[in-house]
Amino acid sequence: MNDVSTKRVDPRLLWIKSSFSSEEGGECVEVATDTNTVHVRDSKDITRPGLTVGMDAWAMFVGHTANELH
């Protein structure tokens, strides 16, 4: 099963940027969620298609990343 896709997403999504991102922007990704998916986009160019992953795939990514940082 493919849990990742690239597509244009609903413009009504509420995008959230990391609190670690600088005020100038352009150095981070933004995420938004809907019922079953997490959408990820590059904050440098939000007009480009983003990455869409399932909730389970996102949880695994975040868990793995958090473990690697400690």
Per-residue pLDDT tens over the stretch 13-43: 999 987 777 666 556 889 999 989 999 988 8
**Predicted confidence band of residue 10 (pLDDT cuts 50, 70, 90):** confident
Q: Please give the pLDDT value at position 14.
A: 92
Average pLDDT, the chain: 82
Q: Which residues contact 49 (CB under 8 A, 6 or more apart)?
A: 6, 7, 8
Alpha helices per DSSP H over 1-70:
55-69
Residue of 65, 41, 50 whose CA lies nearest to 7:
50
pLDDT for residue 12: 85
Of 18 and 7, more confident: 18
- Taking the model in full, what pTM does it have? 0.72
2, 49 Cβ separation under 8 angstroms: no
